[in-house]
Amino acid sequence: MKVSVELDEQKRVKSWASNGNLDNSNVYEVEESIWKSNWEAFLLQNDELVYDDNLKKAIDEKRNITELINLYKKMLNDTDYKAIKYSEGIISEDEYAETKEKRKFWRKEINRLEESLNNINKIWKI
């Protein structure tokens, strides 16, 4: 399969096109079965596009961490109404205690995961 690619500063594939959208200046031959689901993990080395397994792992880890952060943020949003009820005195401290502990844990996890995400971004610049 022939693909035309746009590369980032680290010579990693940023975007690509095939078929009629080929830019002849940056056309490379790639194995279609690997390319289609892993194109983000290819980089240019010695005028060839090469698959980097470590880059793929970093991309997958970043994606998984981002999904977890979004899940915890959703859980916080979904319990905002209880925090508001508590702050307005509608529910008691006892009624809010379990939710309060969960929210505290979710915020702590978000902070920890965001730090991991920042480390991945620093190392891989992705």
Question: 3-state DSSP call for residue 67?
Answer: helix
pLDDT band at 18 (very low <50, low <70, confident <90, very high): confident
Residue 121 has pLDDT above 70, yes or no: yes
Residue 24: per-residue pLDDT? 64
Cβ neighbours of 123 (radius 10 Å): 10
Alpha carbons 69 and 106: distance in angstroms, whole number: 9
Note the pLDDT tens digit of each residue in 72-94: 999 999 999 999 999 999 999 99
pLDDT band at 70 (very low <50, low <70, confident <90, very high): very high
Residue 126: per-residue pLDDT? 84
**Which of 24-28, 87-91, 107-111 is predicted with the least confidence, judged by mean pLDDT?**
24-28
Residue 21 has pLDDT above 90, yes or no: no
Tokens 């689901």, located at residue: 37
Q: How large a percentage of the chain has pLDDT more than 90? A: 86
**Which of 10-14, 17-21, 81-85 is predicted with the least confidence, judged by mean pLDDT?**
17-21
| The pair of three-digit structure tokens given for residue 65, joined into one six-digit string | 């961490």
120 or 19: whose pLDDT is higher? 120
